[in-house]
Amino acid sequence: MEAKIKAQRAKITAAKLDAVFGHGLQFRANVAKLQTLRRQRDDAIARRDEIERWRVEEFLDYWERDMHHMAILRARQRQQKIADERRKWHVKPCTKEGKVRLHATARESTVFCIGSSNLLAFSKEFQANKNAVTALTEQVALVSSTAQLEQAQTMLMPLLDTFTKTYNGVHQALHQVPPPPHAMASERSTSVDPPPATDIVLKTKKKKVKTLGQQRRTRDAHVPWSLLDQLAAEKTKLQTEKALGAVFKRRKPIGDD
């Protein structure tokens, strides 16, 4: 009995030693290997998430570049389409012979002269057959040219006065020169009355000294605002009537069907 108990104890001790030094060492090695595998798995998952995030960012960057490029292409196509439409509907000025006018037409002149102005612009009798725009344009031209003429006369008045004084002085000196001796002898024999003084000499004798306050002031060439406003209103009214006439002409009457 005791021998069996000792043998059983020896088996138990051998099993304990085998479990501690055999299976325990293998278990510890397996645990370390398991931790290493878990760490590698976590690193692989983190790497996968990082690569996926990079892939999404790269896709968004590529999509943004593609959308920007497509927007630029659409803008260019739109500009090209607008340019083609404008070029299609562009009106080319032509001459009477049918050729394209190479040089642009000159702007309408806003400077009026008395030679091209209608002197009867304010006469209702001669303006009855003309439309309101033409009549007002002629009135503005006449007022502007008249004001410019008065301004030019006022500016040249000092020069004209100096020239008149010089001219009158020369003629007065010529009249005051004594005649030659044979002319004096013939004058005594005929006893002809002296010639009357001319108007120029009389005007020269009666000189008037003009002070600074008595000199005419320079008048600026201007057109009344009322005429300009009336002309603009008539032009607007004429354009409106033309537009309405074109609209009514394009409309089809109801009874044509």
Q: pTM for this structure?
A: 0.32
| Contact criterion met (CB below 8 Å) for 122 and 142 | yes
| Contact criterion met (CB below 8 Å) for 218 and 154 | yes
- The yes-or-no verdict on residue 92 having pLDDT over 60 is yes
Read off the pLDDT band of 139 (50, 70, 90): confident
Tens of pLDDT, residue by residue over 218-233, are: 555 566 667 777 788 8
Q: Output b/e per residue, 49-59; b: 16+ Cβ within 10 A.
A: eeeeeeeeeee
Q: What is the pLDDT of residue 251?
A: 63
Q: What is the pLDDT of residue 18?
A: 76
> Can you give the three-state secondary structure of the chain, one letter per residue?
CHHHHHHHHHHHHHHHHHHHHHHHHHHHHHHHHHHHHHHHHHHHHHHHHHHHHHHHHHHHHHHHHHHHHHHHHHHHHHHHHHHHHHHHHCCCCECCCCCECCCCCCCCCCCCCCCCCCCCCCCCCCCCCCCHHHHHHHHHHHHHHHHHHHHHHHHHHHHHHHHHHHHHHHHHHHHHCCCCHHHHHHHHHHCCCCCCCCHHHHHHHCCCCCCCCCCCCCCCCCCCHHHHHHHHHHHHHHHHHHHHHHHHHHCCCHHHC
Cα distance between residue 207 and residue 197, in whole Å: 16
- Amino acid identity of residue 203, one-letter, is K
Q: What is the pLDDT of residue 182?
A: 61
Cα distance between residue 219 and residue 107, in whole Å: 28
Under the phi-then-psi rule, with left for phi > 0, alpha for psi from -120 to 50, and beta for the rest, what region is 98?
A: left
Which is nearest to 231 in space by CA: 140, 148, 145, 143? 140
Q: Where are the domains of the chain?
A: 1-84, 132-209+217-247
Give the distance between the most distant pair of CA atoms in the chain. Answer: 212
Integer angstrom CA distances of residue 202 from 55, 171, 206, 209: 113, 12, 6, 15
Tens of pLDDT, residue by residue over 13-34, are: 878 777 777 777 788 888 889 9
Give the pLDDT mean for 5-17. Answer: 81
Which pair of structure tokens corresponds to residue 162? 């100096």
